Amino acid sequence: MSSIPAVPAANRLLNALPDSDRQHLLAHCERVNLSFAEVLYLAGTKIPHVYFPIDSFISLVTPVDGDIGLEVGLIGDEGILGITLTLGVDIAPFQALVQGAGSALRISVPLFLQELERSRPLQLELKRYLYVSMSQLAQTAACNRFHLVEARLARWLLMTHDRAHADTFHVTHIFLAYILGVRRVGITKAALSLQEQKLISYRRGDITVLDRGGLEGAACECYRTERDTYERILGT
Amino acid sequence: MSSIPAVPAANRLLNALPDSDRQHLLAHCERVNLSFAEVLYLAGTKIPHVYFPIDSFISLVTPVDGDIGLEVGLIGDEGILGITLTLGVDIAPFQALVQGAGSALRISVPLFLQELERSRPLQLELKRYLYVSMSQLAQTAACNRFHLVEARLARWLLMTHDRAHADTFHVTHIFLAYILGVRRVGITKAALSLQEQKLISYRRGDITVLDRGGLEGAACECYRTERDTYERILGT
DNA sequence: TGGCGTATGTGCCCTAGCGTACAGACTTTA
DNA sequence: TAAAGTCTGTACGCTAGGGCACATACGCCA
């Protein structure tokens, strides 16, 4: 019954579409619940579904040397998972794993492609989202290269805060270490430092943002740069 | 007279197009010479022209914290500069600077967009190139995070070797430091090491690849991964 | 309530790469 | 041919973060 949500959908990318285009697309979507740490795509394999997160959020991770990885993208209700389909390639370039449990709209690949073909506004919107994604990817690359773990952690927490729609969310140190490409101990230290500054509080994987403004001060400029890019290209 | 090269053009991306589509596009192109260190795009500004390198090659650099930067892409005769126009955004996301002097085909933005509209094969080819670019961007991000300077330098030399169509090309340590996001001294040390292994020779900015196979051994797996991605998506 | 699994905190040594300064070698120009 | 500019090599102390080992704390479940 509640498989098709009321208009407007709670995904900002879809909300930007004209009513008729959105309705058309939503008619083919089903609402699904994504659970923490669920792997939606495996790098190099065929894309099974397209997702529009609502209150869930998804990490894109590029695998390195077998076991380790590095986050190269974070998708929440501002985006879409499966964007490369618009490039005519149905192979996932990255691993996609659920970082924040919650709901999302899901559509099959053939139906998505059909709607993409039909809807010019959808094409335009997705192209611009792709541009933003590329910009963020480059920003992340530079950030990983130059900025300290603590600043990068602060940035990640802010980005996640934006997508979680809640001050508290679940993520362990070891998970963060994987995402940021550092040792678990490095995360522990950085998180302790942020905690001592009363910016966050931490308790067995449940992290709470206490002082968002302070966190922005602790983060590198990359966070603001990313927001600006988003606003400039996709902002209303 | 030689402003329009003989068919086929010496850019592999264009060569992949059907004859009629390529001819149409080439009719609007002019051949230009790009000189070393020339800045073609400034990040955040309007894209002035689209380039298809022939024997020149171009670095995409993302600026960080004002003065420093990091290379996030390398474009030679396998690619195109200005790809984001296909996403409907005419703002350059990165700085583009000429890394290897040489010739390229140049087309104005309006004419490029006109040809893009007209030619479906061009659209498809550019989409796939965009996919490859994204994959490489992510690979570079991970590489910068995890691999040692010497391996990264070896990889960069291989990538450049592929695009330079010559065993010797010009690039100074300080330039490489900027590209790889490290100190100049770090490059000097890594280059010395590669030289001691008889893989390259170096003389005041003129670098010569002596042992390509050995260099591949010294490089991280990222080089091979990138080649594989290229072959898989854009290979014939 | 005791035991086990999971998550976080601490300590110690090690290394790659940074910041800085300076010296030597080559090249261009006057 | 001398001077100035450019490029490469060397040296030294410093720090962020890696690798590893282990200790503690929390929570679930028998």
Contact flag, residue B192 CB and nucleic strand D, below 7 A: yes
Residues 162-181 of chain A in contact with strand C via CB under 7 angstroms: 172-174
pTM of the model: 0.94
- Give the pLDDT of residue A9: 58
Nearest to B233 among A89, A128, A134 (CB): A89
Q: Is the pLDDT of residue B175 over 50?
A: yes
Which pLDDT score is estimated for A67? 75
* pLDDT classification of B9: cutoffs 50, 70, 90: low
- Strand D–CB B36 distance below 7 A: no
pLDDT by 10s per residue, chain A, length 236 = 444 444 445 899 999 999 999 999 999 999 999 998 899 999 999 999 999 999 999 999 998 887 788 999 999 999 999 999 999 999 999 999 999 999 999 999 999 999 999 999 999 999 999 999 999 999 999 999 999 999 999 999 999 999 999 999 999 999 999 999 999 999 999 999 999 999 999 998 999 999 999 999 999 999 999 999 999 999 86
Say yes or no for a CB contact (<8 Å) between A139 and B62: yes
Distance from CA of A165 to the nearest CA of B (A): 27
Query: Which nucleotide is closest to the Cα of B172 by its C1'?
Result: D7
Cβ atoms of B96 and B41 within 8 Å: the answer is yes
Give dist(CA B30, CA B50) in Å, integer.
11
Residues 6+ apart with CB under 8 A from A113: A85
Among A96, A71, A90, residue whose Cα is nearest residue A176:
A71
**Strand ordering across the sheet containing A102-108:** A30-34, A102-108, A49-53
pLDDT of residue B2: 40
Q: Select from B49, B62, B84 the least CA-distant residue to A128.
A: B84
Q: In what order do the strands lie in the sheet with B206-209?
A: B168-170, B206-209, B200-203
Q: Is the pLDDT of residue B209 over 50?
A: yes
Residue A74 CB: number of other CB atoms within 10 A?
22
Whose CA is closest to B134, among A151, A32, A83, A176? A83
Coarse DSSP helix, strand, coil percentages of chain A, rounded to the nearest 5 percent = 45, 25, 30
Determine the Cα–Cα distance for residues A120 and A152; give it in Å rounded to an integer: 37
- Between CA A215 and CA A224, with CA A220 as vertex, the angle to 5 degrees is 80
Would you tell me how many other CB atoms lie within 10 Å of the CB of residue A45? 11
Average pLDDT, rounded, for chain B: 93
Contacts with B106 (C-beta within 8 Å, 6 or more apart), sequence order: B29, B30, B31, B32, B49, B50, B51, B52
Q: Which of B102, B80, B64, B81 is nearest to B179 (CA)?
A: B64
- Rounded to an integer, the average pLDDT of B212-217 is 97
**Amino acid in position B71:** E
Mean pLDDT over B115-134 rounds to 97
- The answer, for A89 touching chain B at a CB cutoff of 8 Å, is yes
Side chain identity, residue B94: F
Give me the CA A120–C1' C25 separation in Å, rounded: 62
The CA distance from A68 to the nearest CA of chain B, in Å, is 10
Res A69: pLDDT: 86
Q: Does A146 touch chain B (CB under 8 A)?
A: yes
Separation of A84 CA and C30 C1' (Å)? 60
A70 → closest Cβ in B64, B93, B142: B142
pLDDT score of B196 more than 70: yes
For residue B49, what are the CA distances in angstroms to A19, B93, B121? 36, 14, 21
**Residue B216, token pair as written in the block:** 């591949």
